Structure 1
Amino acid sequence: MSTSKTLIASALGAVVALGALASAPAAAADKEKCYGIAQAGKNDCASATGAHSCAGQAKTDKDPGDWKYVAKGSCEKMGGSTAPKK
């Protein structure tokens, strides 16, 4: 590939990546953390209780300290809570 084609391909890749980043905050605004609905190994981030520090590390189904992002307003319909249970 010539230098100009490589430069164009790199610039196009950067534009596509920036577009994906720009849409992420809008998508996050339509979601909320829902505690107590995540299946084992399917949580979205660290446990509220400190049991683990990363996504995908939930050990049990529906642990009240583990959460997943869901559409705003749907958490309680799924049997979860928007605040961790102590």
Structure 2
Amino acid sequence: MSTTTTRTLSAATLALALGSALSMAALPTTAHAAGDVEKCFGVAMKGKNDCAAGAGTTCAGTSTKDFQANSWKSVPKGTCTTLESKTSPTGKGQLEAFTPKA
């Protein structure tokens, strides 16, 4: 093989390997087992909620304000009630939609 061919193949192999590595790195954040996450209400920022947000929203990314009481975010199981929520009566995320504090 010529030097040019070897360099081209090496560059292509490196690009494929890097692409594969980046794809694999993204898996843990998108492929959760059902028992590893829970819905946490009142912790999503405006437009950053996950699907099925409740009245006034249609799906992911439709929350209209930060810490919206009826919008939820998927979080690692057991962490919801430790996350800040400025609208929650307890000041922490909730496992169910709630009426925001005044």
Larger of the two Rg values belongs to structure? 2
Rounded Cα–Cα distance in structure 1 between residues aligned with 2:47 and 2:32: 23
Alignment partner of 1:80 is 2:86: no
Cα RMSD of the aligned pairs, angstroms, is 3.3
What count of residue pairs does the alignment treat as equivalent?
84
Structure 2 equivalent of residue 31 of structure 1 = 37
Q: Any stretches of 5+ residues in structure 2 without a counterpart?
A: 84-91
Sequence identity (%): 23
Rounded Cα–Cα distance in structure 2 between residues aligned with 1:23 and 1:60: 27
Q: Displacement of 1:61 after TM fit?
A: 3.2
TM-score by length of 2: 0.53
Q: Any stretches of 5+ residues in structure 1 without a counterpart?
A: none
Taking CA–CA contacts closer than 8 Å with sequence separation of 6 or more, which of the two structures ends up with the larger relative contact order? Answer: 1
